[in-house]
Amino acid sequence: MTPPADAPVRPPRPVTVTIAFWLQLATVLVLLGLVALVVTQAVQWDGHIDRAVRAVPDADPDEVRGERWSNVTMAVVLGLPTLLLALWLAATARPVRRGGNVARILVFVSGGVQLVVCCGQSFVGAFVFPLLFAIGFDDGPYVEEGYPEEGPAGPEAEIWAESKFFEELYSRSDPFDAVLFPLAGLGVLTVLVLTLAVVLLLALPPAHRWFVPRAAPAAPMPPAGYPVVPVAYAPPVPHGYQVVPPGYLICPDPAAHRAPGDAAPGPTEG
């Protein structure tokens, strides 16, 4: 099937789109690695909770339950958006390579979301930390009103006193934590750089012309000032007559040019 004359003309796929495709796949792999780190940290911390419970048999069940819930919540809050972003970029990688403009727009949206999240966290930290320092902290133990700071106190004097379970849980250092946080920070920075590179490569003019091809040029119009003469269609010629171009002499004997066996046209009845 022949495409219409005004169909968009798609140029060959530029090299920038191919590079962006492979960088997008690399971003997906880094994101999956971050998800694996989050899951590993959650499993490691759950093991720390089990060891703290074995070391402190009389630990408060509510404290243990709250620590486990906090561990699972943090894993879901950090790991689920990372996994969704990896699936988002993985689903749009192949359509981007094939020239899907909608997939390219979705990649732009994912880059914008990452930028908003990073900038939002930076702005929140810039506003919250000075506010906390302006309010000030009291490092001393909280003593309920009515009790002296030194000497015996009532059962609710130090309500922020740390329990033996938390002391046991947070007192031990894990070598994995010393590797986890640098790897997580490096992974997040790598994802941001790769996403920025993909967005820039897909936004370059060669890639834009490939994703949004322009229509074929129309037929040239006559210059201004020249009259446009409409084309007149000649009526059908009766059988036995020959169409003669204008400017040629016409033979006075049309019968000499009639094909053999053709009858001469009879008179027209009035």
Compute the average pLDDT of residues 89-105. 93
Instruction: For 22-87, give the DSSP string.
Output: HHHHHHHHHHHHHHHHHHHHHHHHHHHHHHHHHH-TT--HHHHHHHHHHHHHHHHHHHHHHHHHHH
In this prediction, residue 145 has a pLDDT band, given cuts at 50, 70 and 90, of very low
Q: What are phi and psi of 205, to 5 degrees?
A: -55, -40
Q: In one letter, which amino acid is 30?
A: V
- Higher-scoring residue by pLDDT: 1, 68: 68
Residues 6+ apart with CB under 8 A from 112: none
Between these two residues, 197 and 9, which has the higher pLDDT value?
Answer: 197
Q: Which of 50, 34, 74 is nearest to 192 (CA)?
A: 34
In the predicted model, is pLDDT for residue 217 greater than 80?
no
Q: Model confidence over 171-215: pLDDT tens digits? A: 877 777 778 888 888 999 999 999 999 999 999 999 988 888 876
Position 156 confidence tier, pLDDT thresholds 50, 70, 90: very low
- Answer whether 39's CB lies under 8 Å from 79's CB: yes
Look at residue 270 in the predicted model and tell me its pLDDT: 44
48-57, 188-197, 258-267: segment of lowest average pLDDT: 258-267
Q: Would strands 8-9 and 214-215 be described as parallel, antiparallel, or unpaired?
A: antiparallel
| Structure-token pair, residue 162 | 């740390």
pLDDT of 144 strictly over 60: no
Give the least confident one: 65-74, 98-107, 136-145.
136-145
